[in-house]
Amino acid sequence: MLSKKQLLTKGMLDIFPHMLSVIPFGIICGAIGVELGFNPYLVYAMSFIIFGGASQIVFLQLISGGASSLVAVTSVGIINSRHLLYGAVLSEYLEKLSFIKRLLISYVIVDQSFSESNKFFKTNKTEQNLHYHLIGTGCTLWLCWQISTLSGIILGSFVPEELGLKFAIPLTFIAIVVQDLKKIDHVVVMITCGLSSLLFFDAPFKSYIIISPIIALFVASLLLRIKK
């Protein structure tokens, strides 16, 4: 049985490697906002209020490109709708928490904290106070995101653009799913999702980001039926 402190530390350590991509992306995100001519306070407030890298950049690019607020807000909502899936997966581990605690912990559920904590939860189902792991992953990422976007806003893009550090983002997600390539059913689901995302890339409001997972989950349910 691990103590709360051990779980918290484990969470922080598990998310730590992803900072290699989160920090440069945060700097880029902050710098882009200022370059596009937005009020620095507004650019930073997004990191606190929205707290979702890709959706923050899309929002700023749409507004600066002359899109209406409605389009920008809708796009953010659709891009982030994938969190509904993360919530559905994590709910079984968090259901013992009080209502208030569930409201609070929800704020730090992002791609990497979800995937690292979910991996830990699956292999440690009997532990008490599992949510401390999620607090560890989520709050570490939150803090790094705030600091890195803030430094991008203040210092500008001090990460040379030629380095193409945006490429670290797909690499971080490759690191998350790569071990599941051992399972053929997961490979089929991943390829379905990836190809769908290319096929529907031009769908309005960036909706490929939720359309492709839905298609891939449908394929997963078919695979489960065949397996039986």
Partner 1 sequence: MTWLSIIIAGVLTYLTRMTMIVLVRRDMLGAKFKAVLEYVPSAVFPAIIFPAIFINDYGLFVEINDPKIFGAIVAVIVGYFSKNIISTILAGLLSYWFLIFVVFS
Tell me the closest approach of the beta carbon of residue 148 to partner 1, in angstroms.
16
Could you say whether residue 170 binds partner 1 (CB under 8 A)?
yes
- CA 112, CA 133: separation in Å to the nearest integer? 13
Binding to partner 1 (CB under 8 A) within 186-205 occurs at 186, 189-198, 201-202
| Of residues 29-88, those binding partner 1 (CB under 8 A) | 38, 42, 45-46, 49-52, 54-55, 59, 63, 69, 72-73, 76-77, 80-88
Up-side HSE of residue 129: CA atoms within 13 Å toward CB? Answer: 13
Which of 95, 125, 160, 184 binds partner 1 (CB under 8 A)? It is: 95
Q: Shortest distance, CB of residue 151 to partner 1, whole angstroms?
A: 20
Contact 45, 103 (CB under 8 A): no
Locus of tokens 């690292």 = 116
How many C-beta neighbours within 10 Å does residue 5 have? 10
Q: Which CB sits closer to partner 1, 1 or 182?
A: 182
Please state at what angle helix 40-49 crosses helix 131-155, rounded to 10 degrees: 170
Looking at residue 124, the DSSP 8-state letter turns out to be -
- Kindly write out the interface string for residues 2-21 of this chain, putting x where it contacts partner 1 by CB under 8 A and - elsewhere: ---------------xx-xx
Binding to partner 1, residues 150-169 (CB under 8 A): 162-169
Name which of 51 and 145 has its Cβ closer to partner 1: 51
- Contact region with partner 1 (CB under 8 A), list: 2-10, 26-34, 105-113, 147-155: 105-113
Identity of the residue, 3 or 39, whose beta carbon is nearer to partner 1 in the bound complex: 39
- Please state the closest distance from residue 98 (CB atom) to partner 1, in A: 11
40, 152 contact by CB (below 8 A)? no
Residues contacting partner 1: total by CB under 8 A: 89
Q: What angle do CA 116, 26, 103 make, to 5 degrees?
A: 50
- Ramachandran category for residue 164: left, alpha or beta (phi over 0 → left; psi -120 to 50 → alpha): left
Count the alpha carbons within 13 Å of 225 in the hemisphere toward its beta carbon: 6
Q: By the 8 A CB rule, do 42 and 56 touch? A: no
Q: In the range 120-149, which residues lie near partner 1 by CB under 8 A?
A: none
